[in-house]
């Protein structure tokens, strides 16, 4: 076995790959070869580091030097300076990793410091395509212990005691789900993994599959042992080619090593698994629709009961958990239920991965203990709002969630608090909004997504969300009425009450929560025909501030519809609001900030 003095970890997550990290990897390999460092430095392609904002990312160990936003040509510098001469290339380091002129190891960077990585612990640390690296970090130890030393009941008890709840949506206690499936009658049972991550902006499941695929295999095998299944399905959307590829490699490696297949660890337990590709319909994240899709049917939800634990895939008892949920299990087995339940709040244990986006400095993935406040997540980890703008609201839970206003920013994040606030945990989307966001527009954005993604099966979701969107469109266009505001709320209630699946039942949340916290904004649209944030185009009026106008005529020159009149150097310019198409060109062009919108 070769020893290396230096490991160069290149992020192979989807985000970084799309910004050319594969070329960076190639260049490293090339230059290391040329500089005759082949026996000293090793290039490792890992999963996502989480701080996608900073990608493409390269980390050089043992120093933990965190290079960010690299270009291919930067590799030359890093090799010649850092690898050959031992001088860290400070200019290329992630800026926050430099404190008081000293480089901090990646682990001490603010973004990572408040995090506690359980589900993501191997992401960005190991090469996901090398099973030995997973094993080196205690991989398959939990499965081995479970199979050789524990009864299925004991396994379920640990999961129950840990307090782990489903990380995909509703937060159902995982141990209970395992217990139901174990107790369901059936000669054939299945375990399945929901990797059909559909929330816009959420990509924690993808990251785990790309960065640590073996943890899913190990965890599903443990689950299969606990519930009495011998076959597993991982349902991944085909839009995740890297995840699919890495997971397939991992499955093949596990099979080769006898960690999947017959008589694992020389016990009676046999387990095999396969990947099923989804076409990326949001609804297939709903468990019964996912089951239909696995069976080759149209991805539409089935009524529950019967629950999948009783009648799932091919009508056999089926345990279905999502990727992040599974990713916690081996650690719980190894470190104990007590360790896990020591993290988090009373009813929400452990950590949760969030995909932080929107108006935030550190866009990316973060894993934080339950109970961390929204403020800590947004400011300490997320680095706050860019450009000194004011924080307005944070949207959690994706299209099923709601908007939480600034007044509640000190709320500790857990399942129940978020629901209390009219939102939900969901799969962990976290979108930050500042003063420039119009809440009617935000509600429209999420509802538009739901309307597009409704499977069309049940009336309230299929037709109801469509009508809600039409009303929001009216409001945004300035033609909304007071009746529309009332109607929105009653219709939303019926959709919540009467829809078939969780997606329909939660679809009105973005609208209901914004109506609740930001009614004044809706009213401004309806009564005053005004969009306070200046987003809804139809309600915008561009005006020249006479006192500031220097009569330069730049605005008139930029206007594509020639609706700005005035004489250069002589008169103040004027915008004809009837003709104006609200393209914002004049406002951007004016060197004196003499044009305002509102």
Partner 1 sequence: MKSLEELRKLRKDSLDQVDMRRSGKGTRIVVGMATCGISAGARPVMMALVEEVKKRTLQDVTVTQTGCIGACRLEPMFEVYRAGEEKVTYVHMDGEKAKRVVAEHIVNGKVVQEYTIGAYEK
Partner 2 sequence: MVTLSINGQRVEVEQDTTVLEAAATIGIKIPTFCHDPRLKPHGSCRICVVEVNGGKNLPTACVTPVYEGMEVETEGEEVVTARKEILDLLLADHPLECLTCEKAGECTLQDLCYQYGIERTSYDGERNHYEIDYSNDFYYSDQNKCIKCGKCVMVCDQLQETHAIGFAERGFETHIATPMERGLSESTCVSCGNCVSVCPVDALAPKKKTKFRYWETEKVRTTCSYCGVGCQMDLLVKDNKVVEVQPAEGVNDRMLCVKGKFAFDFLSHPNRLKMPLIRKDGRLQEASWEEAYDTIIGKINSIKEENGPGAFAGLTSARCSTEDNYMMQKFMRAAIGTNSVDHCARL
Residues in the chain: 598
Q: Decide if residue 145 touches partner 1 (CB under 8 A).
A: yes
Q: Of 176, 249, 257, 498, which one interacts with partner 1 (CB under 8 A)? A: 257
Q: Decide if residue 460 touches partner 2 (CB under 8 A).
A: yes
State in angstroms the smallest separation of the CB of 281 from partner 2: 7
Q: Decide if residue 421 touches partner 2 (CB under 8 A).
A: no
Q: Decide if residue 278 touches partner 2 (CB under 8 A).
A: no
Per-residue DSSP letters for 94-137?
-GGGEETTEEPPGGGSHHHHT---STTTTTTTS-TT-HHHHHHT
- Give the span between the Cα atoms of 574 and 499, in whole angstroms: 52
Q: Of 40, 448, 463, 523, which one interacts with partner 1 (CB under 8 A)? A: 40
Site for partner 1 in 83-122 (CB under 8 A): 84-88, 105, 107
Query: 107: how many CB neighbours lie within 10 A of its CB?
Result: 12
Specify the stretch interacting with partner 1 by CB under 8 A; choose among 190-198, 215-223, 257-265, 301-309: 257-265
Please identify, using beta-carbon distances, which residue of 262 and 483 lies nearer to partner 2: 483
State in angstroms the smallest separation of the CB of 477 from partner 1: 54
Q: Of 86, 187, 490, 591, which one interacts with partner 2 (CB under 8 A)? A: 490
Q: Which DSSP letter does residue 534 get?
A: S
Contact between 403 and 511 under an 8 Å Cβ cutoff? The reply is: no
Number of residues that bind partner 2 (CB under 8 A): 35
Number of residues that bind partner 1 (CB under 8 A): 40
State in angstroms the smallest separation of the CB of 152 from partner 1: 18
Report angle CA 399, 349, 224 to the nearest 5 degrees.
85
Given partner 2, partner 1, none, residue 339, with its beta carbon under 5 to 8 Å by kind, binds none
- Give the span between the Cα atoms of 345 and 425, in whole angstroms: 14
- Give the span between the Cα atoms of 101 and 294, in whole angstroms: 54
Number of H helices and E strands in the chain, helices first, is 24, 19
Given partner 1, partner 2, none, residue 6, with its beta carbon under 5 to 8 Å by kind, binds partner 1
Token pair in block for residue 98: 């430099």
Residue 362, judged by CB atoms within 10 A of its CB (0-12, 13-18, 19+), counts as buried
State in angstroms the smallest separation of the CB of 591 from partner 2: 44
Place of tokens 């008890």: 157
Q: Decide if residue 454 touches partner 2 (CB under 8 A).
A: yes
**Is the backbone peptide bond immediately before 477 cis, with ω within 30 degrees of 0?**
no
- Beginning with the edge strand found earlier in the chain, give each strand of the sheet holding 41-46 in spatial order: 41-46, 6-11, 58-61, 65-67
Please identify, using beta-carbon distances, which residue of 487 and 529 lies nearer to partner 2: 487
Binding site for partner 2 (CB under 8 A): 281, 283, 298, 300, 302-303, 305, 451-460, 462-467, 470, 487, 490-491, 493-494, 496-500, 505
What is the binding site for partner 1 (CB under 8 A)?
1-7, 9, 40, 61-64, 84-88, 105, 107, 125-126, 132-133, 135-141, 144-145, 148, 257-259, 264-266
């Amino acid at each position: 076995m070769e020893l290396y003095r230096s490991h160069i970890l290149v992020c192979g997550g989807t985000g970084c790959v799309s910004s050319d990290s594969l070329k960076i990897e190639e260049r490293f390999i090339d230059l290391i070869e040329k500089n005759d460092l082949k026996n000293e430095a090793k290039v490792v392609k890992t999963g996502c580091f989480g701080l996608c904002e900073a990608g493409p990312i390269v980390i050089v160990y043992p120093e933990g030097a965190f290079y960010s936003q690299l270009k291919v040509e930067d590799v030359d510098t890093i090799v010649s300076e850092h690898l050959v001469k031992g001088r860290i290339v400070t200019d290329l380091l992630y800026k926050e990793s430099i404190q008081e002129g000293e480089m901090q190891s990646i682990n001490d960077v603010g973004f990572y410091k408040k995090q506690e990585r359980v589900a993501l612990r191997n992401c960005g640390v190991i090469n996901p395509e090398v099973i030995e690296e997973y094993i080196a970090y205690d991989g398959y130890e939990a499965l081995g212990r479970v199979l050789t030393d524990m009864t299925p009941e004991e396994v379920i008890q640990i999961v129950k005691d840990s307090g782990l709840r489903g990380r995909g949506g509703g937060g159902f206690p995982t141990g209970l789900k395992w217990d139901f499936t174990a107790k369901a009658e059936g000669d054939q049972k299945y375990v399945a993994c929901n990797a059909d991550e559909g929330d816009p902006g959420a990509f924690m499941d993808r990251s785990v599959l790309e960065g640590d695929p073996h943890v899913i295999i190990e965890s599903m095998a443990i689950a299969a042992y606990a519930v009495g299944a011998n076959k597993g399905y991982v349902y991944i959307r085909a839009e995740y080619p890297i995840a699919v590829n890495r997971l397939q490699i991992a499955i093949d490696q596990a099979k080769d090593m006898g960690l999947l297949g017959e008589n694992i660890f020389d016990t009676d337990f046999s387990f095999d698994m396969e990947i099923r590709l989804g076409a990326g319909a949001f609804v297939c994240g709903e468990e019964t629709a996912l089951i239909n899709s696995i069976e080759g049917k149209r991805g539409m939800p089935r009524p529950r009961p019967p629950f999948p634990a009783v009648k799932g895939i091919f009508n056999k008892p089926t345990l279905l958990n999502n990727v992040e949920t599974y990713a916690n299990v081996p650690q719980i087995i190894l470190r104990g239920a007590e360790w896990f339940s020591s993290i988090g709040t009373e009813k929400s244990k452990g950590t949760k991965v969030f995909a932080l986006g929107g108006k935030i400095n550190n866009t990316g993935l973060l894993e934080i203990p339950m109970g961390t406040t929204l403020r800590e997540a947004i400011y300490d980890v997320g680095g706050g709002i860019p450009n000194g703008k004011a924080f307005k609201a944070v949207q959690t839970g994706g299209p099923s969630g709601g908007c939480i206003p600034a007044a509640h920013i000190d709320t500790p994040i857990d399942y129940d608090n978020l629901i209390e606030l009219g939102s939900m945990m969901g799969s962990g989307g976290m979108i930050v909004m500042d003063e420039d966001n119009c809440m009617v527009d935000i509600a429209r954005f999420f509802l538009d997504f739901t309307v597009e993604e409704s499977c069309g099966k049940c009336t309230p979701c299929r037709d109801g969300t469509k009508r809600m969107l039409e009303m929001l469109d009216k409001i945004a266009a300035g033609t909304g009425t007071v009746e529309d505001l009332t109607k929105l709320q009653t219709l939303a209630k019926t959709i919540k009450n009467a829809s078939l699946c969780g997606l329909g039942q939660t679809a009105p949340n973005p609208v209901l929560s914004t109506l609740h916290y930001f009614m004044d904004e809706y009213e401004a649209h309806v009564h005053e025909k005004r969009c306070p944030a200046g987003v809804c185009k139809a309600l915008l009026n561009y005006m020249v501030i006479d006192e500031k106008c220097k009569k330069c005529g730049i605005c008139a020159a930029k206007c594509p519809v020639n609706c700005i009149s005035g004489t250069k150097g002589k008169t103040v310019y004027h915008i004809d609001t009837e003709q104006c198409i609200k393209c914002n060109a004049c406002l951007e062009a004016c060197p004196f900030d003499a044009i305002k919108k509102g």
